[in-house]
Structure 1
Amino acid sequence: MLDTDLGDRPHRRTAPIDLELENTNIDIAALQETRLSGEGQLREARRTYFWKGCPVDHRKRARVAFAIRNDLASRLAESPRGVSERIMTLRITTSHNRNITIINVYAPTMNYPDEEKEAFYSQLKDIIANVPAVDKLVLLGAFNARVGHDYNTWSPVLGKFGKGNPSSNGELLLCVRSLNW
């Protein structure tokens, strides 16, 4: 979402994203691969962007963000929390004093070491386990996984229209879902 000093494009790429989210009437967007370093927030005309990425001196990878309509962002009891460069959480209180917890993820792809993928899914399990049971839970993002078509085994998780067999990332994701959330 930011360009380098070497390019001829504007430094802030959030402005056109802001306009597109407005045109499509999206109140909250979960974004991945944002290329924003560190952690921070930026207010545009219609949305406020909250992000979590690697420190500036690290190789650019992962990075997650939320884009939240400004009137909603101004009413948040707490800002979205960047857990890691791959996971951010947001807790919103609705008009009926109920809470929604939104988790935004960017899972490691298949070419990452198994240890890194397992650490990611372990961290995700811990975060989900700590969401209050009364909250509605929304899990969004890029999982880089194929969960397959085994509806009989995973009936609470999968619909009847999956394709193929699960990838190793898909199996990790299905196991996270088996936590009964």
Structure 2
Amino acid sequence: MLDADDSNRPERRSALIAHELSRLDVDIAALSEVRFHDVGSLRAWRRKDRFYSELRGHIQSIRADDKVIILGDFNARVGQDVDASKGVSWQTRRWKRNDNGRLLLELCTEQQLVITNTTLPAKGQNETTWMHPWSKHWHLIDYVLVRQKRPQGCPSHQSDAQLHFKPKPRKGGPPTKKFDLEKLQSSEVKADFQADLQSKLESVDCRKDPSPETLWDQLKTAILQTSEEVLGFTTKRNKDWFDENNQEIQELLTKKRSAHQAHLAQPSCPVKKAVFRLICSNLQRKLREIQNEGFYEALKVVYGPTHHVQSPLRSADGQVLFTDKTSILSRWSEHFQALFSADRVVQDSAVLRICQKPVIEELDELPSIEEISKAIEQLKCGKAAGVDGIPPEIWKDGGPTLHSKLHELLVCCWEQSKLPRDLRDAVLITLYKNKGEKSDCSNYRG
């Protein structure tokens, strides 16, 4: 009646019964199948017995003086019988005990465990952890088990262990300081800034080494020092726009929850679905009207800067996998150098087919101070600073002396055909194309 040991097919019911008769040492038995409500099959009972048997073995393997904390979904209801669960579960529950609850209480009694989340009363929303999909009744099926052993003289079960939860440490160096650019809106501060910057720029003598790199370092140093002395840096100011409009926002959220519950009660009703979508749209629009930018600024303050995890990369031949940061950056540098410096072969016939335009001689002339001033005026405010750390507001409000020094720098770069390193370097951001292996550099945009 038993299946073969090397058989891959599911066990027959007769084989399962034979296993149980062999385990109970019964030779002859009269069997009849009876099914009760909320009682699993024989195979389910075997899985439960195996689970609790393995759990007992793990608990017994732990030393008696060690602390034990067991967390999990036991799919159990311990019930209202206080006498049967005395010393294990103190808080009376309104649900009937099921078979899983009986097995859990037996385990706790044998191993001297306590169900801690039934010892103290809890609010209604914190009293349950799972809702039955058919009856829509909420139940408590997730439990926390600890040992009953406690110090002498302790009147009730209390754990002397203290848990300290720390937020995940933020990666990267210190946060970048930002100049307080709002002070430039004051005419007095703006005049002081221009005067101080003018004095610093006029005191600089660059006749000994009139190279673009030297001119740029002197210009950048003067700008950063003046900005720090006159403007200073911004301090964190968390806007309480949400707390100030808490009552209005809570009313909108209440309407949204009511519409959502009505939609869940009748998901096929098009009217309730349309009402729910309309309320969601009104809620989003109202939140944007309250303060559009403040919400995202508050999120940045709470969550901090975004840090991207670098994926491992393969070498050019695909044989070696780089995992450390230095090797990954070197591989990216190699990839983009090969990509941007590749020799392109263009046939002469293709060049001759291009329509030739007249040569514009004015493009070979030196840039004028008027062109530089016009380009600075067209800069957009509120943009992030580059590698040099100078925001566009500084260039726009720096005054004529700053524009003159910038013109001198650009003329020097034009004549010597050289650029400072800060103006030559570029920041490349890799974007995955969502196809192919992430370890292949060709599957990224840069």
Instruction: Return the TM-score normalized by structure 1.
Output: 0.37
Instruction: Return the TM-score normalized by structure 2.
Output: 0.16
- Which structure's residues are more often strand, by fraction? 1
- Which structure's residues are more often helix, by fraction? 2
